Amino acid sequence: MTTEYSGTGDPARSLALLWRTREPASRRGRTDLTVDRIVRAAIELADAEGLAALSMRRVAERLGVGTMSLYTHVPGKGELLDLMLDTVYGETVSPDAAPTGWRARLEDVARQSWALYLRHPWLLQVATTRPPLGPNLIARYEQELRAVDGIGLTDLEMDAVVTLIGGFVHGTVRGAVEAAQAAERTGMTEEQWWGAHAPYLEKAMDPRRFPLAARVGTAAGEEYQAASDPARAFEFGLARILDGIETLVRDRPGAPAPSAGG
């Protein structure tokens, strides 16, 4: 699904724009055109049509300006993509008090990330192994680390926990996004699709050859009314990950584990 890579723009220009340290360019046209307006229009375009539709020309059309006027503010698509990512990451940074207890805080991190992908499915099309090092990404990382600060993990383990939660959400939410897109593009819900295919599968599949697949698949299909349930997989997997983190801290020699509510 990946179609783009973050961190491909010029480092100096990208960081200057992300942290807004770049000197304002001279204005010889639309004085209401700003970096923030350009980024917001790009996000709206990607939300509506996917990342494949994103180009400087399409963003300019959305703003009602000439394409070249965008380059006065944003050097190119690479820098624009980094700005888009950092902007939407800011949606998960909350000034409100965090939930009580490390487990509840990590759950909150995971659920906010899940919701972010559902609002902006194009995020799944961006490889972020070289992330946009902007203020919102750093603030998000800081907030995620605070969820497990002081519970007995080393600094590297804290980073690993944050990475683990992020990777888990990324993997499970993909199914939810793809299911929603399939329903939108085919006009058929998951339940309708399953209802149309399940009777034929039951006739075609020999339970003597695939006894476990027949038994477990039938139970899951009847429960989900679909081939899978990404939301349920998310809930199950998140609970097991949190259980594992709790065990890691609890069983550490000489380091009494804090309770999940601590």
DSSP 32: T
**Amino acid, single-letter form, for residue 147:** A
DSSP character string of 42-104: HHHHHHHH-GGG--HHHHHHHHTS-HHHHTTT---HHHHHHHHHHHHHGGG---SPPPSSHHH
Give the mean model confidence (pLDDT) for residues 168-190. 92
Task: Please tell me the predicted confidence (pLDDT) of residue 260.
Answer: 64
Per-range mean pLDDT, top range of 26-30, 202-206, 222-226, 238-242 = 238-242
Q: Note whether 236 and 75 are within 8 A (CB).
A: no
pTM as predicted:
0.90
Beta bridge partners of 33: none
Q: How confident is the model at residue 62 (pLDDT cuts 50, 70, 90)?
A: very high
Q: Can you state the angle between helices 230-250 and 155-186, rounded to 10 degrees?
A: 170
Percent of the chain having pLDDT more than 70? 92
Structure confidence by residue, pLDDT tens digits, 94-123: 887 778 899 999 999 999 999 999 999 999
How far does Cα 250 stand from its chain's mean position?
A: 30
Give the mean model confidence (pLDDT) for residues 224-230. 90
Q: How confident is the model at residue 59 (pLDDT cuts 50, 70, 90)?
A: very high
What letters, b where the CB count within 10 A reaches 16 and e where it falls short, cover 22-35? eeeeeeeeeeebeb
Under DSSP, is residue 69 helix (H, G, I), strand (E, B) or coil? helix
Task: Please tell me the predicted confidence (pLDDT) of residue 194.
Answer: 82
Domains with residue ranges and CATH for the chain: 4-89 (1.10.10.60), 95-250 (1.10.357.10)
Give the mean model confidence (pLDDT) for residues 132-147. 96
Percent of the chain having pLDDT more than 90? 73
Give the mean model confidence (pLDDT) for residues 69-85. 95
**pLDDT surpasses 90 at 190:** no
Residue among 114, 127, 224, 98 nearest 174 (CA): 114
Structure confidence by residue, pLDDT tens digits, 151-161: 999 999 999 99
Under DSSP, is residue 59 helix (H, G, I), strand (E, B) or coil? helix
Structure confidence by residue, pLDDT tens digits, 198-213: 888 888 888 999 999 9
Q: How far is CA 157 from CA 71, 150, 211, in A?
A: 42, 12, 41
